[in-house]
Structure 1
Amino acid sequence: MQFLLVGAGLSGAVIGRKLAEAGHRCRIIDARDHIGGNCHTRRDEETGVMMHVYGPHIFHTDDEEVWSYVNGFTEFLPFQNRVKTTARGAVYSLPINLLTINQFFGTTMRPDEARDFIADQADTSITDPQSFEEQALRFVGRDLYEAFFKGYTEKQWGCSPTELPASILKRLPVRFNYDDNYFFHRFQGMPRDGYTPMIEAILDHPGITVELNTPYRPEMREAADHVFWSGPLDGFFDYQLGRLGYRTLDFERFTYEGDYQGCAVMNYGDRDVPWTRITEHKHFSPWEDHEDSVCYREYSREAGPDDIPYYPIRLVREKALLEDYIALAETTEGVTFVGRLGTYRYLDMDVTIREALDTAATFLGCLAEGKPVRAFIKSPR
């Protein structure tokens, strides 16, 4: 069969590879001039530093099959993300841990003492947190919330934390030890040569052709037996029901002679600092040695029609519109919607790869059994 895959990021590459290995032909197109989507990496010409062009992507997973899969196409080296934050004129460790608590409150508490202390700080009058703010107040109390979460969240999401669902904060842990590893997954690392060579290796199959600088056109469907769409869900339908909401990111690049901040990621929690964080890219490849440095100041704002969408907003209006697009997609034959944009969900890289592997397997199973293929192998709901 002949398949058209729209988007040469992780979803398109992994699905295309699996289908090609099963003997099918895959045409993968992308409107950009490079593969890899938002995890595209390249060498900075001025400094030689490996750049995460669209912001940092750190691979972490508990999925052993996914970890084995990516290591089959490149060499991953150990990397743990140790985030710092500048707030109220001091630098602290994130996630909030025992060092953060002791430094912030000027104490020397042991784990059990800190646990009891934070429990006293928490607003226990909030029994069923509905908003981000209520969850934070119930979780860590007002002092830590206002220092580390409130301003950063207002900048990141462009709205008050009272308007965001409590579920956003449930992903952020508080640790009563000195562990400052931002993630808790078993497998964590970075590809030695960047993500783009890894994706090149996935795409390196005689059954796959890749066409860059090639926007999708509806008539392309005529030459394909099936389409896998990893672009924006609403974009496939030319936004006929309206546009789903996204946040986008702007990056202000600057270079520095030496080491600018001593870590890969420095958050800025104060509301009067316009950027959310500064990333120093050479620290994402600690096995390399570079005298000079290249950094990004990162700004978040609402995505316009010509912007790259990063984070789905998924508030009340967007969820209602999403339901309408799901209904429209489910009546559209010959298309399967995949990935972060195609299913309008925030996905880490390991989940994106897992869902791509499952999508290909499910699709091939449906072909073998003569069953129809659903518009969504993984529901956007």
Structure 2
Amino acid sequence: MRAVGYTKTGPVTAADALIDFEADAPTPGPRDLLVAVKGVSVNPVDVKLRAGMEPGDAPKVLGFDAAGVVQAVGADVTGYKVGDEVFYAGDFTRPGTNSELHVVDERIVGRKPASLGFAEAAGHPLTAITAWEILFDSFALTEGSGAGETLLIIGGAGGVGSILIQLAKVLTGLTVIATASRPETVEWVKKMGADHVINHRESLPEQVAALGLHPKYIAGLTGSDEHFPALVEVAKPRGHIALIDDPEELNILPAKLKALSISWEFMFTRSMFQTEDMDAQRDLLNRVADLLDAGKLQSTVTANLGKVSAQSLIEAHRIQESGRVIGKNVLDV
């Protein structure tokens, strides 16, 4: 089968930052689906791995988000059959989705939204899982709760922020403050449903104070090295800060006086460690598909970058590294 991968770490500007190659078709395990991949998307994790994780002796295939059609099922699969259309965010410990065929555990796979094409559907799983787990696992909210409280989202125009705003507004009673720093990103987060927009390049405490709000919940999606002291300052006592990025150092001691909870969200944890609730990701993806099909959630895809190839994915990585992606970029397979 055709695949795209990398053989050495380095900058995206290198001529062979990613390569096209032929790989053996994978064989599904007992709980696996063999999927003919029809669409993928690009996430920050792809860029981080290509730049910093040694690939080993063979080309390493990147890509996590995918949508496609089930071609075969493992002996113990119960939830899917050949011909089913699915979408999912993959497993950090297994080969990626930038290939014609891919195997994935059925417990982290949802049905593809019928209202979306394959590439557009592939723009949602990783970010939706991340956002859902922030709201309902990290913050321990329940659907319909949160009235009278505020959620502050740092980095509202990115992939996770775009769907987190929507899930918070559709499924909870939270007031949402989202940050954006450019006219086009301000317009985007308003479109996603944010109640208030502030600029993360200016004083967060001053802007939050001007709104007269006290966020009990804060999602730090980017810039935690820079913003964490301000997040502690604006957080409501006994509030909760959830982070997804990778600060080199993080001094959480100032959070003690407010008795703040600090947690990380990493959507690959369930599949990496085969947790007993691993199938929660299947269930939430099915719910997201229902919400998309019902028109209660908007698609967060803003660009289709063409057919998957080393060349097109190098361009996709370059755009991702620019830090100016709004929503999600996707590609066809």
After TM superposition, the score normalised by the length of structure 1 is 0.23
Larger fraction in helix = 1
Between Structure 1 and Structure 2, whose CA radius of gyration is higher?
1
